[in-house]
Amino acid sequence: MSESHPHTMRLQRFLARAGVASRRGSEAIMTAGRVTVNGRVATELGTKVDTDLDVVEVDGKRVVWGDTPVYLMLHKPAGFITTMSDPQGRRCVAELVPTERYPGLFPVGRLDYDTTGLLLFTTDGDLAQALLHPSRHVAKRYVALVDGVMTDAELEPLRQGIMLDDGPCKPAPSRIVSARAARRIWSEPAPPHSSVVEIELSEGRKNQVKRMLGRVHHPVLRLHRPAFGPLELGQLKPGTWRCLTEEEIGRLRAAADVREPYTSEEGTR
């Protein structure tokens, strides 16, 4: 059967449209050996499946087209890398979320090993892709403890769009906040001659907050993300997770400007 057959398609496309992950994320899940078709591990990206006949499983759990996507937030603690597996045996965020209950979960973006805060997980590939796309301007808010006593004027280059080695950053709303903010986030007291800065980004380059603040000569000592788009971490304790409410999912979709995920009826037309 050909790719044009309405019930036959490439496996990574099936996984993406079933809400397991984005197309690229589905390819990563396949190459990691986590996907089986009719009991056989499928790592070939050219693999095709018949959506009516073939049994597709991720991590031993069957993927059914039309399954309701899952959305949850984790309060990521320091000391975990943002990946679902690590060949070097380092601790990953997969240990902290219910992957057995919700196969196909993957993180939306990443937080550094030593960065804490809100990390979103989903099985909805379309929404994840939209949330991270620069054109959607979905903001992420960070609180940074930096070295040195910082003045408001020193934040002006960040507000204007500071230049980094890989090009100019978009203007980032920034402000100095009180030391009480640090005490609410980190149990350790702030060192002397330090400042607390809140910064909002609508792009996601690697180590961007650290690089931006380092460029204005205030290296980041600790970094925390309390908000992703319209979502707030709130009172969620480090290392714990919760599913999003319907209202939160709706606000997240509105922020990313995406429609509801595919249903089984839409998928088999």
Residue 36 pairs with which residues in a beta bridge?
41, 57
Residue with token string 């907050």: 209
Rounded Cα gap, residues 223 and 241, in angstroms: 19
Q: Are 30 and 11 in contact (CB under 8 A)?
A: yes
Choice among 54, 112, 114, 147 that is catalytic = 112
Helix (H, G, I), strand (E, B) or coil at 237: coil
Please report, as a single letter, which amino acid is at residue 51.
T
Rg (CA), the chain: 21
Q: Is residue 261 within 8 Å of residue 127, measured between CB atoms?
A: yes
DSSP 8-state class, residue 41: E
Q: Which two tokens stand for residue 231?
A: 């979502």
Distance (Å, whole) CA 143 – CA 117 = 10
DSSP, res 92: B
**Is residue 112 flagged as an active site residue?**
yes
Q: What does DSSP assign to residue 171?
A: P
In angstroms, how far is CA 94 from the centroid of its own chain? 12
- How far, in Å, CA of 10 to CA of 137, rounded? 31
236 phi/psi in degrees, rounded to 5? -65, 130
What are the catalytic residues? 112
